[in-house]
Amino acid sequence: MADTETIRADSSYLAAGANRYSAASDWSAEGVVAFGSDANVCLWNPQNPRGISSILSQHTGHVKAVKFLPRLEGDDKTILISGGDDKVVRAWSVSPRDATASYLQAVEGHAEPINCIAALGVTPAGAPTKRIFATGAADATVRIWAHDSAANEEPFKLLQSVKTTKKFIPLALALSPLDDEANGIVLAVVGTTNAVQIFTAGASDLEFTLQATLPGHGNWVRSLDFIKEKTEAGSDLLLASASQDKYVRLWRLHQGTALSALNNATGLDLSVSLTPGNKIHQISAGGTKYCVMFEALLLGHEDWIYTARWSRTADGKLLLLSASADNSLSIWESDPESGIWITGARLGEVSREKGATTATGSIGGFWTGLWSPAGTTVITLGRTGSWRRWDYNPSDDAWQQTYAISGHTRAVTGLSWSQDGTYLLSTSSDQTTRLHAQWTGNGTDSSSSGSWHEMSRPQIHGYDLNCIATLGPTSSFVSGADEKLMRVFTEPRAVAKMLSCLTNSKIDMSSAPDAADMPVLGLSNKAIDNTSSERQPESQEEEEGVLSQSNFTIPAALEATTTHPPFEENLSRHTLWPEVEKLYGHGYEISCLCSSHDGKIIASACKASSLNHAVIRLFETDKWTELRPPLQAHSLTVARVRFSGDDELLLSVGRDRQWVVWGRSGTGYELVQQMQKGHSRMILDCAWGPAEEKKRVFATAGRDKLVRFWVGENKEFGLGGEMKEGEPVTAVDFLPEMTTEGKMVLAVGTEAGRVMLVTLGVAKEGKVEVVRKAVLDKGLRLPGTVVQLAWRPKTAEQDEKKRELAIAGEDGSLRIYEVEV
């Protein structure tokens, strides 16, 4: 057995959907966006077309809050704080240059999940600047922490634990200095109550006390943000609070008496401000008196408002960005003459599908809105876990949408490459099938060339999807879900044309429908025809079914996506693939499926606890009929089925701990060999090695922490060797070809998230020898189970020694790593 070595790998593509929490994302002053994705923290620079640059894995529960601490003079890196369901605050050191990070430490203290974080840099009189941050959790407490980077042993120190009055759960926090000298600090706390609580502290002692409770909202308050009204010294402080009552309230914090505050407020209706519900509140901090008063009520949204965040333009004008469940972002500004706050711009889907969650692409509201450091870009997160982005164009004085990133929001359960390696299909428990491909850039920007993006969302389903397989050389696939049938889809001409433009590929679509649509109350994507039935082919290429960029007119909704990856609304509405067939026969939910390499046969199995249901059913794709009788040998659920490279053999493994090899017989398959005790515990995956002259090799992986290699001639297989791991092995896949040295390469994934590359040699006597065993660096590991591995078929552009491996994770991430073989 070879010694295990650690290797690095380049991340060609990282995709992960964001967690739907309003506090689970933040945009640093250096331009890096951090957001929670399942139990991970993802780093993304929106100016970099290559998408997510790092996935940070240390949390053991959903990440609900992230926040960048302010950088101090001399800092070359930024500190990122994250918290979530694991009740632990974790700190990271982020490099703004390449948006990568290293883990610093965990800070414990809360007894329940952490919901929100606020941060501030404080400079007490005569003392160096230090960072403080506050964390709010479901234990109804707010904890105040200090960070001192010079303290090597204990850089994070708990200063105070504040219990919320009436025991409400904090959902948002905001910290700000009260004056220019930062002698006083204000902390605003909101949550599962309709009031805003104001705490203050002196900068020297940092002991927060409750000073005021601001009533007014009619429901829970979801977001808070402070900003100075003007850049001049002595300016008042403004606080924005956003609520589920569909309103944003603005509050003014003024140093001095109530009368001076009224005199300082511009365009304020005094009769409104002095009503009992909007009384002026007196507070103090550091020996200085302040007052808090209601400033304005912002009306316009038609559903819950999740976030409200301030920005200041280059000329000093204040802008407020609000994100709502009504599928819109509003950018508010104060009218210079009247002082009334008005909507300067509205982005998203105005007056459409208010918070609805229909299958065909309603966003279900925007969960967060973020400003770029310069205030020229805004991003927002929708129900599908995908980001939307708008850039401000000063020449047109308008906000223009541009492409962003997307990803699955639950476990990725299946992977399948197209036979030529042009695109990768993935299925997930989030009930979607997604198509990922490499953008050539079309000469628009050299940095975008070769970047990976989600190019289509062929299936949006009503059941959790479990498995997928492309059908040979055709542009079709079959998928299985938590239902008794399988569904077959084919690529529509509109998506084929878009892909040919974005990937510089030509696709044979001789009989494909134009596009697809889904009925409001249906699960089946229906083919639609955008052209007249009498339309004649415009060229010989079109008549032969080969699409070029000159024929077939793309529907208007996809027209713009021939120059850049599609926007989220196009992905979820206009890139569906039509369903062409349903395959029936199984009695329970589909557990696994695969297709032969020539695309002529589909093999599938379902969840089972008896011999009658633990069968493998074969379907031929010419007439879509079942080849009877079904293959019967297993007694429990079949976990994986795989065809050999020449389709002569079919391998199946299952929870009954046995593997079975089936051989081609006429148009179907028959039992060749059955190993009833292949492993001591259930077998979770299997893979065929590249065929040698006479010997065939396949690998099986089990919950007994073993990978076993089986070698055979003349369809008789025996144990050729095994490899012991420290945790259950959940996924294996062989590189389709031998290496230049004549060796086989097996990718191995485990329940603990480790991914290994094992180089194997087969001796003449049939023994399998591990020549090299390399595990991917700890920073590339997954936080949970590796569900499936899939090598990308070799393409003409690839280096002979470098290949790409797709990894499906239980954490909802999809990763493509480029590794040396």
Residue 433 has pLDDT above 90, yes or no: yes
Side-by-side strand order, sheet with 4-7:
4-7, 768-776, 755-762, 744-750, 729-734
Note the pLDDT of residue 558.
65
CA gap 242, 471 in Å, rounded: 50
Confidence of residue 607 (pLDDT cuts 50, 70, 90): very high
CA gap 252, 214 in Å, rounded: 11
Confidence of residue 537 (pLDDT cuts 50, 70, 90): very low
Residue type, 742: G
Note the pLDDT of residue 180.
82
pLDDT tens track for 7-65: 889 999 999 999 999 999 999 999 999 999 999 999 999 999 999 999 999 999 999 99
Distances (CA, A) of 367 to 23, 113, 258, 300, 355: 9, 19, 36, 17, 11
pLDDT tens track for 700-747: 999 999 999 999 987 899 999 999 999 999 999 999 999 988 899 999
Note the pLDDT of residue 151.
74
Q: Convert 562-589 into a string of H (helix), E (strand) and C (coil).
A: HCCCCCHHHHHHHCCCCEEEEECCCCCC
Whether omega before 113 lies within 30 degrees of 0, making that bond cis, reads no
Q: Convert 186-209 into a string of H (helix), E (strand) and C (coil).
A: EEEEEECCCCEEEEEEECCCCCCE
Note the pLDDT of residue 357.
41
CA gap 34, 44 in Å, rounded: 6
Report the pLDDT averaged over residues 552-572: 73
CA gap 427, 457 in Å, rounded: 10
Q: Which residues on adjacent β-strands are paired with residue 41?
A: 36, 56
Confidence of residue 272 (pLDDT cuts 50, 70, 90): very low
Residue 693 has pLDDT above 70, yes or no: no
Residues 6+ apart with CB under 8 A from 764: none
Q: 813 in the Ramachandran plot: left (φ > 0), alpha (ψ -120 to 50) or beta?
A: beta
Question: What secondary structure does DSSP assign to 510-554, as a single string?
Answer: TT--SEEE--TT-SSPEEE--S-TTPPPSSHHHHTTB--TTSSPP
Of all residues in the chain, what percent carry a pLDDT higher than 90?
Answer: 72
Which contacts qualify for 119-124: CB closer than 8 Å, 24 or more apart? 119/67, 119/68, 119/69, 119/70, 119/81, 119/175, 120/70, 120/175, 120/176, 120/177, 120/185, 121/69, 121/70, 121/72, 122/177, 122/182, 122/185, 122/203, 122/206, 123/182, 123/203, 124/182, 124/203, 124/204
CA gap 96, 227 in Å, rounded: 24
